[in-house]
Structure 1
Amino acid sequence: MADDKRSLLWHGTALFLIGLLTGLAEQHFTNVRMGLAAHLEGVMNGTFVLAVGAIWNEVWLSPRTKAVAYWTLLVGTYGNWIVTTLAAVLGTAALSPITAVGHEAEPWKEAVITAGFAFIGLAIIAAVVLLMFGLRSTAKPQ
């Protein structure tokens, strides 16, 4: 359990650093606004993973459910940065009308990014629901 907490703290810090580095490169993306979004996703998701790491011992779930929450959280947060960065590289407008003004990529690229955002959105929602379930007042320590 302590290893998972330290791992989440490490991953949160790593994702935060990835976000900072993305910010240094945002001017080189096909869609600069989406590059800014990728920078923010890295920083914000890294901060979120750090926060979850800080409360990890208070999340009371069965070992299996807690493992699902752990991996869903990491897939969702890293995936969010990856898909947003890929959208910036490809210059897509998928699901991001504000950051994609003046951009539209080939249909297959738009489809890949749309599917990526849909999958990642579901993963993060699942992780948060599991975390909330493990933090409810009636949860029992496992």
Structure 2
Amino acid sequence: MDYRRRLLFHGMALFLIGLLTGLAEQHFTNVRMALTAHLEGVMNGTFLLAVGAIWSEVRLASGPRAFAYWALLCGTYGNWAVTTLAAVLGTGALSPVTAAGRGAAPWQETLVTAGFISIGLAIIAASVLLLWGLRGKAAPVGPNA
């Protein structure tokens, strides 16, 4: 699988999703959280583009490399999706400033909280693997490499 090219594709796709979310902001239960969802889509899309740009420099075995790739996708798309869900439901347990007075049901708060925790762990794991894969010297480049 060409991870680099796929990361670039998903980066642009998520960036576009973020832009489209911005166009629909006024139609969400929690407009401030919808603005956050818009920004999450745009910023996470940009993050995937940046990771795609450096992917050839990441030195990991095939297993950790695949895990990092999937953790990045789950974390970035998940971040946009859970934030959008929070905007739809009007939850505020993890963001009382953006959801003051919304009063979502407890199960909705729990669902969004679990979502944010799981995507946070995925992004942290992917970031640690990327950092690990970028340590040390770069691979030699040139005709004798």
Query: TM-score by structure 2 length?
Result: 0.92
Aligned match of 2:71: 72
Q: Which runs of 5+ in 1 are unaligned?
A: none
Letter in structure 1 aligned against 2:127: V
Identical-residue share of aligned pairs (%): 74
**Equivalent-residue separation in structure 1 for 2:40 and 2:93 (angstroms):** 16
Aligned to 2:54: 55
Q: Report deviation, 1:94.
A: 2.4
Partner of 1:85 in structure 2?
84
Deviations 1:24-53 (A, max 9, x none): 001000000000000000000000000000
More helix per residue: 1 or 2?
1
User: How far off is 1:23 after superposition?
Assistant: 0.2
Look up the match of 1:24: 23
Corresponding residue pairs, total = 140
DSSP-derived class of the 1:100 partner: coil
Q: C-alpha offsets along residues 56-97 of structure 1, whole Å, 9 cap, x if unaligned?
A: 000000011100000000000000000000000001002112
* Alpha-carbon separation, structure 2, partners of 1:79 and 1:117: 8
- Counterparts of 1:127 and 1:120, CA distance in 2: 10
Write the distance in 1 (CA, Å) between the matches of 2:120 and 2:17.
20
| Secondary structure, aligned partner of 1:53 | helix
TM-score normalised by length of structure 1:
0.94
Q: Tell me the CA shift for residue 6 of structure 1.
A: 0.6
Residue 134 of structure 2 is matched in structure 1 by 135
Counterpart contact for 1:17–1:43, Cα < 8 Å: yes
Q: Larger Cα Rg: Structure 1 or Structure 2?
A: 2
Could you tell me how far 1:140 is from its partner in structure 2?
7.1
Secondary structure at 2:96's aligned position in 1? coil
Q: Quote the Cα distance in structure 2 between the aligned partners of 1:139 and 1:132.
A: 13
Q: Unaligned stretches of 5+ in structure 2?
A: 141-145
User: Runs of 4+ in structure 1 displaced over 2 angstroms?
Assistant: 138-141
Aligned partners of 2:11 and 2:50: how far apart in 1?
A: 8
Tell whether the 8 Å contact from 2:57 to 2:138 is kept in structure 1 after alignment: no
